Structure 1
Amino acid sequence: MKLVGVDVGGTFTDVMFSDTAAKKAMIHKVPTTGDDPSRGVMTGILELCERNNIKPADLDYVFHGTTIATNAILEYRGAEAGMITTRGFRDIIHIGRHQRPQHYSIMQEIPWQDKPLVKRRYRKVVTERLAPPHGDVLVPLAEEEVRQAARELKDAGIRSIAVCFLFSYLNSVHEDRAREIVLEEHPDAFVTTSSSIVAQFREFERFTTAAMNAYIGPPVRNYIRQLETALRQADMKAELRIMRSNGGVATPATISEFPVLTLLSGPAAGVLGGAVCGALSGRSNLITFDVGGTSADIGVTNEGRFSEASARDTKIAGYPVLVPMIDIHTIGAGGGSVAYVDQGGTFHVGPRSAGSVPGPAAYSRGGQEPTVTDANVVLGRLDKDNFLGGEMSLDVEGAQKVVGEIAERLGLGIDEAAAGIITILNSNMANAIRSRTVQKGIDPRDFALMAFGGAGPLHGAEVADMLGIPEVIVPTYPGITSALGLLASELKYDAIRTQFQVSGSVDVDRLNSEFAQMGDDVLRQFTADGVSHSEVTMRRYADARYVGQGYELRIDLADGMITEDDMHRSYEQFHRIHESEYGHAFQQSPIEIVNIRVTGTAPSPQLEWPKIGSEGSIEKALIKRDNTKFRVDGELRSFDTAFYRRADLPVGQKLAGPAIVLQLDTTTVVPPNWSFTADPHGNLILTAGGAQ
């Protein structure tokens, strides 16, 4: 199989090719084309093919991580959307839960109120009512009212409509019929029903998720169509797969209908790629540290498994989202993060980024503000003649000029200012890691830091130092690990239903019946993708809580026919998870099952990673020695530093820092008192404490 993975970042678009039969891989990077990312995607694929004598027509699959949906939300530039909802519930998505993101601030923006996904004048109400607990029809759907609402939205120029009814998670009959009517009146509309995205209780979150799908639906659908057209025009017959936020991939048809599933498309691929690289070197407890030009994404892999975000944590730009997502924490910190002094004289780095255009001053593209990249250039940690494998020369004088300007304002020397920029950024990223580890009862010292992205290896060791993490792993292609993760992904579909049951009186027959129906729903999606049922692996879960609690924890449920004994084992697991998460458990308290879930996965063609021989040598790898600056014991000092070419490093030989390791897609910084080794799988293993 010939596979291509393409991940679109804020600064660069990363491309990786794998021939699974020949066991070889190639990489390529091109600037991201912000106005139309598909141009950068096609440029990257075609340039990689041309440089390596690969016929585009021979490609079998293109796996793609996209930021279209995320950017539409972050930049508030989605489609003008409408909503049809139950009479009396027009303002659910405005009122929310009467919770303020910042409890004690009287000057704050509440995203769903300040930037509504659906403006109030485009929220229409109709008569209907379903009744819990089984979704019985209490008041029939007033179909003529739905027709009138659809006509009004059509006349107002609305091309995307969300249908959100009360208790539709129990019975979708009214939403399904309303969708049919809307399409009869407005055939060109993009129509979303809340129950088709997530059949789960909590009206505010479910309605907001449906509204978000309607808001981003048209731009994502248009992008997918453009990309598919471009692939065909380039004579590519490869099947396109899009990365979802849950760590699986889906077909263009699925993503075109449910674009909200891709909100963490790129970061999810990074966690997968990090886990694959860690497994090659025998590490299963990892903190993935994906730092690009604009943002840093933090994930945790425990015993080879990544966790899924809970309902209380799944937010994008402040909006709650009820779709399965890998638990990833993102902050505005990267190589392009801008350093500045605010009106009160406080020194900040990020979250604003210079992006790829104009970019850092060192890129010579018109950047006039000091960035993290410029600070690394000033400190000698980036080699001006060996950036991007020598394809791009860095402007040292330009970097010194902009860093010098902020240094003058702060009353510091230029080196001190540059070191300050790095320290502030590293502190921000270390705090982000603490929020996903220490604050959740996880000791980061028991994990290795998997540093990747264009800037992760630059900062990984110093961030690890701040957290007491003893080991940093830098994968073979750190700048394109998300693209590698795409090649390691599987087809994955989820089904979820709300079902309230309490331990001691659980109806296992009802559970088994629901699971059977949900399994059939998942299998139908695989059938539509041409996947045999024999290739699909199913797993079952439940969201559970102690009676009276407001949020749930995820537990496993048995395969096959569930028995009372199976349920008791799941209850014991819940107590253990609750103890781990909150520090205590209530063994005698009843447990309430809230939601049940089914996840189906089917393997995609996987790349095989060849081992690396030991032909390298220190003499061959050493490019030069030069001065770089590091802060040691509170003092900024200059060190004679070896610069190595990574591809020529000998396997298994421990080398002492300080050192700079250069390659096409990133630069790895090994500070003083750290050592590093290239292992047979291509990973660099950085170890605190220096060479022994």
Structure 2
Amino acid sequence: MSSPSLGIDVGGTFTDVVTRSGRVLKLPSNAEDPGGVFARAFEALGIEESPLVEVVHGTTVVTNALLTGDLAPVGILVTKGFRDLIALGRQNRPSLFALHPRPAVPPPRHVAEVEERIDAAGQVLASPDAGDVLRAGRRLRRQGVKSFVVCFLHSWRNPGNERLAAEILKELDLPVAVSSDLVPEFREYERFATAATNAALRPLMEAYVARIRASLGRASIRMLQSDGGRLSLDRAREEPLRLALSGPAGGLLGAWAGGSAKGRRRLMTLDMGGTSTDVALMESGPGLVSECVIGGRPLKIPVMDIHTVGAGGGSVAWVDGGGALRVGPRSAGADPGPAAYRRGGPFTVTDAHVLLGRIPEGRFLGGDFELDGKCSRRAALPLARKLGLTPEDFALGVLRVAEATMERALRTISLERGHDPRRFALVAFGGAGGLHACALAENLDMDTVVVPWDPGLLSARGMLSSRVIESRSRGVLGLSLDELQSHPSRVFAALEKKAMRTMKSEGFSTRDVVVERLCDLRYVGQSFELTLPFSESDLKGAFDRAHEARHGFALATVDVEPVALRVRILGPKPGRPRRPRLAQSLDIRAERRDVVFLEGTRRTAIWDRADLPAGFVVKGPAVVAEYSATTVVLPGWTLEVEATSAAMVLRRPGRRRP
């Protein structure tokens, strides 16, 4: 008998649990006691904690801290003359014409300068003085900092001065980090900001890991990092920034596994949870980028290419001072939650669906959690009166406003990057993705929607299909493309050696792993680059094609230069979670209720997904309810249950399929 494996995704509203054997569970999240939620999940599933139990865990704790700015004070030591580098940032501003622009992130308060210098070629011009470093460190410690981070100019070329200063600072008994260990690449602003943010997150993650270990100290626990790989708890404590998009990364893994059947290789994803919606575009698998921005902070870390907006099932509807209907970004969370939870919560997107009859009140979470449509209607009335609308028209308006936000996000990752959404299928998941998928697909002129099995638990399911991944990078400005292609083994050797050392410490041998080589390339003179898989032949042609696809043009006569090298070492693929068994009987009946659509109130079939056999066809309008989510089939759409993947595939008849 195989040992139990669990994927646990801790969101802002619910904690989702999936076992490899196919058992599922949803529990309310508890930010103060995540370990207690884990323990209740083990008890509910009848799993006894032991070192043989494998847990892969994703969390939003880092994302939330970045968005709220709830970070520990950090002392930053910089090269003399560069104390304002992080505050100055880049020239690009979110509000270009604002008369009184405000920085997206408050400038760091605890910065001290140190007399030292390394030139652009990596030569040491001046080493830091021990007394100077200690005086700066003591001054910062008196200001109440919890840790130090050393960020010196050009340390990506030569980290010697940073490491020397860090060794001196250890005398002050506070944690010390150096920027070149985390980001050994050029661009000082991004490197400094990433290192400082990581240090500010460490106390939060140390406390979080301690609570998890206190509740599940004997289980084998790894965390899902933002690039879709598993990370040990010790590494998560040291580099919490790698968890910035932990939960959404699991969703993409699950979406690719559940949506790419029947030759579907072009997918756009819609992951709508309680607080936010994550969208992504995939061609032959989830895409990766080497940096991202969260909460206004530039983060130079490998992450899956995900775009997030503040629209979720718990997003609160409100009327602004100008009398316009707004939805989000504030969320009702798990407590008090939407008004339908009967805890005095505000009117949310979820309440709009309940009021319109699109979420059957008695079937939420398989009937374990009953919703109250009367509470939703009561919360809608004052807002509807303010706008001169009926509660039903107000609820329809709430959905259209929320969908406008999500539509903009989908356009950002497709049309704005040169992709025609009509050539893609939309994979909808999260607890609320299926409620909006048909409407969004219509707005983008898409004709295929895929809803995987247990869509509200897909991120947790995707975590079970993740593998251990170790990523390393280094800047190589000045290396020519010819040198890179002529001696790849020599150039990549140091990176691969470091990454493999970590994999061996995790128990893997060279026979167990797959090595991926990537490089960041740009045209000579450019200030931005694209990451491509390394090839010993025609990297220039590959870059030209990638540049044209992304930006609409290529410069065939301009040389290409590498600026960074990247290595990813991937551990063995785990077994996939068990696919659910579909119903066999064709003798099934639907409940019928009144449901409100834009076209008016329609008598609508309410199906239980567990009753639908392979090949079963449902014509819209219809609602399909299941334990973790609800799917709305709009008028004019047809749903079919796919035998090979157990997914529900929704189409608009008479239109071309992707």
- The question of a shared fold, defined as TM-score above 0.5 by the shorter chain, is answered with yes
Aligned match for 1:208, one of 186, 189, 193: 193
2:113 aligned partner: 125
8 A Cα contact 2:51 2:220, kept in partner: no
Aligned match for 2:558, one of 578, 589, 592: 589
| SS at structure 2 position matched to 1:603 | coil
| SS at structure 1 position matched to 2:50 | helix
Aligned match for 1:219, one of 204, 220, 233: 204
- Displacement of 1:239 in angstroms is 1.3
| SS at structure 2 position matched to 1:549 | coil
Runs of at least 5 residues in structure 1 that lack an aligned partner in the other structure:
19-23, 559-565
User: What is the CA–CA distance in structure 2 between the aligned matches of 1:195 and 1:691, rounded to whole Å?
Assistant: 53
Aligned match for 2:569, one of 600, 615, 635: 600
Aligned match for 2:43, one of 41, 46, 62: 46
TM-score with structure 1 length normalisation?
A: 0.91
Aligned match for 1:684, one of 639, 648, 651: 648
2:86 aligned partner: 93
1:535 aligned partner: 512
User: What is the CA–CA distance in structure 1 between the aligned matches of 2:103 and 2:483, rounded to whole Å?
Assistant: 40
**CA displacement 1:120-159 (0-9 Å, x = unmatched):** xx211112111222x1212122222222222333333322
CA spacing shift, 1:364–1:59, aligned 2, 3 Å: farther
- Displacement of 1:504 in angstroms is 6.6
- Displacement of 1:177 in angstroms is 2.1
- Letter of the structure 2 residue corresponding to residue 356 of structure 1: A
User: What is the CA–CA distance in structure 2 between the aligned matches of 1:576 and 1:507, rounded to whole Å?
Assistant: 19
1:309 aligned partner: 289
Aligned match for 2:64, one of 58, 71, 77: 71
1:357 aligned partner: 335
8 A Cα contact 1:647 1:663, kept in partner: yes
| SS at structure 1 position matched to 2:571 | strand
| SS at structure 1 position matched to 2:601 | strand
2:233 aligned partner: 252
8 A Cα contact 2:522 2:530, kept in partner: yes
CA spacing shift, 1:278–1:346, aligned 2, 3 Å: same
2:23 aligned partner: 26
- Displacement of 1:510 in angstroms is 6.5
2:48 aligned partner: 55
Aligned match for 1:154, one of 122, 130, 141: 141
- Is it true that 1:262 corresponds to 2:243 in the alignment? yes
2:632 aligned partner: 669
2:530 aligned partner: 553
Pairing of 1:177-576 with structure 2 (within 5 A): 177-186=164-173, 189-232=174-217, 237-303=218-284, 305-309=285-289, 311=291, 314-367=292-345, 369-501=346-478, 506=483, 512-558=489-535, 566=536, 568-576=537-545
User: What is the CA–CA distance in structure 2 between the aligned matches of 1:419 and 1:214, rounded to whole Å?
Assistant: 45
User: What is the CA–CA distance in structure 2 between the aligned matches of 1:588 and 1:57, rounded to whole Å?
Assistant: 61
Greater Cα offset, 496-505 or 222-231: 496-505
User: What is the CA–CA distance in structure 1 between the aligned matches of 2:484 and 2:652, rounded to whole Å?
Assistant: 54
- Letter of the structure 2 residue corresponding to residue 541 of structure 1: L
User: What is the CA–CA distance in structure 1 between the aligned matches of 2:184 and 2:476, rounded to whole Å?
Assistant: 10
8 A Cα contact 2:582 2:612, kept in partner: no
- Letter of the structure 2 residue corresponding to residue 128 of structure 1: E
8 A Cα contact 1:677 1:684, kept in partner: yes
User: What is the CA–CA distance in structure 2 between the aligned matches of 1:170 and 1:60, rounded to whole Å?
Assistant: 43
- Letter of the structure 1 residue corresponding to residue 257 of structure 2: V
- Displacement of 1:31 in angstroms is 0.6
User: What is the CA–CA distance in structure 2 between the aligned matches of 1:45 and 1:111, rounded to whole Å?
Assistant: 41
Greater Cα offset, 506-515 or 411-420: 506-515
1:104 aligned partner: 97
1:5 aligned partner: 7
- Letter of the structure 1 residue corresponding to residue 65 of structure 2: A
CA spacing shift, 1:505–1:531, aligned 2, 3 Å: closer
User: What is the CA–CA distance in structure 1 between the aligned matches of 2:424 and 2:274, rounded to whole Å?
Assistant: 25
**CA displacement 1:12-33 (0-9 Å, x = unmatched):** 0101111xxxxx3111001111
User: What is the CA–CA distance in structure 2 between the aligned matches of 1:196 and 1:58, rounded to whole Å?
Assistant: 31
**CA displacement 1:54-98 (0-9 Å, x = unmatched):** 333375310000111111111111111111111111111111123
| SS at structure 2 position matched to 1:306 | coil
| SS at structure 2 position matched to 1:651 | coil
User: What is the CA–CA distance in structure 1 between the aligned matches of 2:256 and 2:323, rounded to whole Å?
Assistant: 42
Greater Cα offset, 38-47 or 668-677: 38-47
User: What is the CA–CA distance in structure 2 between the aligned matches of 1:688 and 1:108, rounded to whole Å?
Assistant: 46
User: What is the CA–CA distance in structure 2 between the aligned matches of 1:603 and 1:76, rounded to whole Å?
Assistant: 37
- Percent identical pairs in the alignment equals 37
- Displacement of 1:358 in angstroms is 1.1
1:647 aligned partner: 610
Aligned residues: 653
User: What is the CA–CA distance in structure 2 between the aligned matches of 1:614 and 1:7, rounded to whole Å?
Assistant: 28
- Is it true that 1:172 corresponds to 2:159 in the alignment? yes
CA spacing shift, 1:511–1:163, aligned 2, 3 Å: farther
Q: CA RMSD in A?
A: 1.9
**CA displacement 1:255-305 (0-9 Å, x = unmatched):** 1111111111111111111111113454221111100011000011102x2
**CA displacement 1:526-557 (0-9 Å, x = unmatched):** 12212222212111111111111110011221
2:594 aligned partner: 627
- Letter of the structure 2 residue corresponding to residue 215 of structure 1: A
| SS at structure 1 position matched to 2:476 | strand
Greater Cα offset, 431-440 or 539-548: 539-548
8 A Cα contact 2:12 2:275, kept in partner: yes
8 A Cα contact 2:38 2:215, kept in partner: no
TM-score with structure 2 length normalisation?
A: 0.96
- Letter of the structure 2 residue corresponding to residue 141 of structure 1: P
**CA displacement 1:453-503 (0-9 Å, x = unmatched):** 010011111111111111111111101111011101111111111112465
- Letter of the structure 1 residue corresponding to residue 551 of structure 2: Y
- Letter of the structure 1 residue corresponding to residue 254 of structure 2: G
CA spacing shift, 1:480–1:59, aligned 2, 3 Å: farther
